[in-house]
């Protein structure tokens, strides 16, 4: 019997996940079907339970349901618990496992596809919302020399840093206005500014020579990436992160991690 999987969100028609997982399945010989489900804003849990009742094996979760998925899960992985949000659900024996593969996808894209080491590097994470939170634990797992979280509201960034520094990790928080005079080897934009084509109040000199500038938004030249390119940084968008987090979900569901390079190349070709 063909196993069923889906991505659920609202809106959902734009999602690239069905194509990504179809390519994964074809390349790895997996008998599975993956679809996109539009859930009513007040009907996420009902949509999930209905999918389970129809024999569904797992789901990806996108906006605006990641925090609701966190609350719905019976069991959470450590990285999902740290993120406070879930983007991947697995259904086994009547129980719901919640995972968060976003941060692992980001790290895999940077260290694998972009061949940029994070160990002993100065890393700046812009933003202190859900997208940033989901990446902190995986980033710290790479043992950077320093991880600084910067946000328009400085106290939100400092609070997030305090939460993750409890185990002795070298992580700090600050406001954007405190970045002057500092430079970083990797700068990651986890804010939603790029979606609205809005710039960020970043000082000159932020990008060290040879720095990588990474925007989680994909498919467009965001003001952040335009600024970074002008400063001489190497620029990357978040399409690789999307593919790599999908591969992490596929691994959870199917027990194997599919090759991502051909899928990423196919998506780039159609941009």
Torsion angle of the four alpha carbons 68, 70, 75, 81, in this order, in degrees rounded to the nearest 10: -170
- Angle at which helices 261-269 and 239-254 pack, to 10 degrees? 140
Give the list of residues 6+ apart from residue 166 with CB closer than 8 angstroms, or none.
none
Q: Is 4 exposed, middle or buried (0-12, 13-18, 19+ CB in 10 A)?
A: middle
Known catalytic membership, residue 66? yes
Alpha carbons 187 and 11: distance in angstroms, whole number: 29
Catalytic residue among 16, 66, 156, 269: 66
Name 7's bridge partners.
36, 60
- Phi/psi of residue 79, nearest 5 degrees: -75, -30
Alpha carbons 8 and 63: distance in angstroms, whole number: 8
Q: In what order do the strands lie in the sheet with 56-61?
A: 32-38, 3-9, 56-61, 88-92, 95-99, 75-76
Give the list of residues 6+ apart from residue 163 with CB closer than 8 angstroms, or none.
none
Q: Which residues have a catalytic role annotated?
A: 66
């Amino acid at each position: 019997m063909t196993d069923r999987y889906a991505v659920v969100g609202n809106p959902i028609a734009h999602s690239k996940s069905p194509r990504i997982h179809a390519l994964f399945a074809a390349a790895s010989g997996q008998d599975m079907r993956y679809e996109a489900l539009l859930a009513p804003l007040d009907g996420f849990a009902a949509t999930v339970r209905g999918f389970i009742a129809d024999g569904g094996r797992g789901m990806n979760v996108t906006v605006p349901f990641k925090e609701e998925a966190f609350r719905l899960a019976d069991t959470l992985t450590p990285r999902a618990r740290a993120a406070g949000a879930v983007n991947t659900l697995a259904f086994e024996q009547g129980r719901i496992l919640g995972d968060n593969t976003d941060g692992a996808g980001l790290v895999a894209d940077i260290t694998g596809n972009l061949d940029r080491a994070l160990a002993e590097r100065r890393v700046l994470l812009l933003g202190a919302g859900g997208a940033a939170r989901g990446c902190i634990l995986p980033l710290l797992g790479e043992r950077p020399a320093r991880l600084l979280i910067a946000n328009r509201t400085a106290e939100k960034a400092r609070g997030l840093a305090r939460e993750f520094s409890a185990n002795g990790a070298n992580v700090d928080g600050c406001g954007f206005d405190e970045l002057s005079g500092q430079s970083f080897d990797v700068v990651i934009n986890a804010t939603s500014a790029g979606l609205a084509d809005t710039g960020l109040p970043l000082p000159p000199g932020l990008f060290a020579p040879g720095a990588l500038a990474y925007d989680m938004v994909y498919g467009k030249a965001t003001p952040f990436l335009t600024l970074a390119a002008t400063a001489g940084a190497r620029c990357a968008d978040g399409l690789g992160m999307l593919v790599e987090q999908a591969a992490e979900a596929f691994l959870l569901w199917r027990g194997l991690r599919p090759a991502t390079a051909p899928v990423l190349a196919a998506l780039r070709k159609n941009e």
